């Protein structure tokens, strides 16, 4: 069985220094969450004009972030 994987590029004016391995968008479609091969989780603001800007970088994982999931309320 052949599996296709789409590449996604996410950055503002400057490309991030990490390799994105997982991506998720919040229900309100205003925040993008990315996981990286280096173990970082990054939060990105997404404007109504589809402009992306970095918001926060979370450190602490010692392995690659290969999937993201949101918690229920």
The predicted structure's pLDDT at residue 46: 86
3-state secondary structure of 40: coil
pTM score: 0.71
What's the number of domains the chain is made of? 1
- The verdict on residue 41 lying in a domain is yes
Q: How far apart are CA 32 and CA 58, in angstroms?
A: 13
The predicted structure's pLDDT at residue 48: 81
- The verdict on residue 63 lying in a domain is no
Q: What is the pLDDT of residues 15-60, one digit of tens each?
A: 666 688 899 998 888 999 999 988 889 999 988 887 888 888 888 8
Q: How far apart are CA 3 and CA 42, in angstroms?
A: 26
Instruction: Classify 62 in phi/psi space as left (phi over 0), alpha (psi -120 to 50) or beta.
Output: alpha
34's tokens:
């990315």
Q: Which residues form the domain of 40?
A: 18-57
- The verdict on residue 29 lying in a domain is yes
The predicted structure's pLDDT at residue 33: 92
């Amino acid at each position: 069985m052949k599996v296709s994987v789409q590449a996604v590029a996410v950055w503002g004016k400057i490309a991030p220094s990490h390799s994105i391995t997982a991506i998720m968008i919040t229900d309100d479609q205003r925040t993008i969450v990315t996981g990286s091969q280096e173990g970082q989780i990054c939060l990105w603001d997404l404007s109504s004009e589809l402009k992306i800007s970095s918001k926060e970088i979370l450190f602490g994982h010692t392995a690659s972030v290969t999937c993201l999931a949101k918690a229920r309320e």
